[in-house]
A and B are shown apart, each in its own frame.
Chain A
Amino acid sequence: MAIIVNLDVMMARRKMSLNELAERVDITPANLSILKTGKAKAIRFGTLEKICEVLDCQPGDILEFNNENK
């Protein structure tokens, strides 16, 4: 997929664990893991908004478009 999820990078920058982020965003760690590993097919605006709010970042910091991976 051409869309790359850089959630792990942002989490490392903010020194936040997966479980902590999952708890603060109010989603299950399993679902967050699916998002982190790039297995997710879609992301709700609501979830994206909460992640950006907790990690204090922009959607572009989490999602990246790379044409080579298409």
Chain B
Amino acid sequence: MNNVNKYLRHLRILYAVFLGMLLLCVGLFVTEVISSDDYYTFDKLNERLQKEKCTSYYVVVTDIKNKANSTAYDFTPNCSDSTLNINAHVNRFDVSVVTSDKAKLSSPLITTTIVLQFVAVFMLLGIFIFLFLELISLYKSIKQGKIFQKRSIKYLRVIAIMLILMSLSIDFAKYCELQYIKDVLQSTDIAVKSGFTIHFVRLLFGIVILFIAEILKIGIQMQEDQDLTI
């Protein structure tokens, strides 16, 4: 029995560490959503850029309404392979593209992107709330001397689903954003390589949490069986 209690204590400590790490990861996701660094690659540079030998060409995407926060995109030209890497911060409602010849192309971000970004933020808030509920549930289960509570499974499932939805909505928002940038840059002769990319680590994290929830479910069933064995 002492051994069982020891294992339970270890399990709870591990679970608490896991929840703490999850909280930390979600915190990192928040910073990622608030100021995301996106790397876009240009398929080709225009002839003018090559003529200018990449010295004065730059494209910046800024917040039109609020100039103070206009630190969005920085393009780093790389002439050797005729590609451009764009370091982007996408959390603005408006986008403008400024080129070296001061030609300014601007347009509000498409509604889909804004809605998807809101969905992602909403999911993040939800994840935070459910993580705190999960921690409270863990505290209660320690107080009652149980391993876990049935509520924990529900919370974990919700967290996992929210994480997956958040991940997909961020990916889709980025895809829409890229499509938009492509449209904005259409008047120039810069081609943007666009495609739907999935952030597999985030998605995998959600699936792992879902997997842990299923293991917990089996664990709680076994605990119940054990408790009702006389």
Contacts and interface: CB of A to CB of B under 8 A. Distances in A.
Contacts of B224: 41
Interface in A7-64: 27, 31-32, 34-35, 39-44, 47
B229 A39 contact: no
A34 B228 CA distance: 8
Nearest to A31: B230
A39 B225 CA distance: 11
Interface in B176-218: none
Interface residues of A, number: 12
A41 B230 CA distance: 8
Contacts of B225: 41-42
A31 B228 CA distance: 8
B78 to A, nearest CB: 67
A27 B224 CA distance: 18
Contacts of B229: 40-44
A41 B221 CA distance: 12
A43 B225 CA distance: 11
Nearest to B224: A41
Contacts of A35: 230
A27 B12 CA distance: 27
A56 B46 CA distance: 98
A32 B228 CA distance: 10
A48 to B, nearest CB: 9
A43 B228 CA distance: 8
A47 B228 CA distance: 13
A47 B230 CA distance: 7
A7 to B, nearest CB: 10
A27 to B, nearest CB: 7
Residue with the greatest number of chain A CB neighbours at <10 A, chosen from B224, B225, B230? B230
B146 to A, nearest CB: 15
Contacts of B230: 27, 31-32, 34-35, 40, 42-44, 47
Interface of A: 27, 31-32, 34-35, 39-44, 47
Interface of B: 224-225, 228-230
21 contacts: A27-B230, A31-B230, A32-B230, A34-B228, A34-B230, A39-B228, A40-B228, A40-B229, A40-B230, A41-B224, A41-B225, A41-B228, A41-B229, A42-B225, A42-B228, A42-B229, A42-B230, A43-B229, A43-B230, A44-B229, A44-B230
Given A34-B228, A40-B228, A42-B230, 5 more contacts: A32-B230, A41-B225, A41-B228, A43-B229, A44-B230
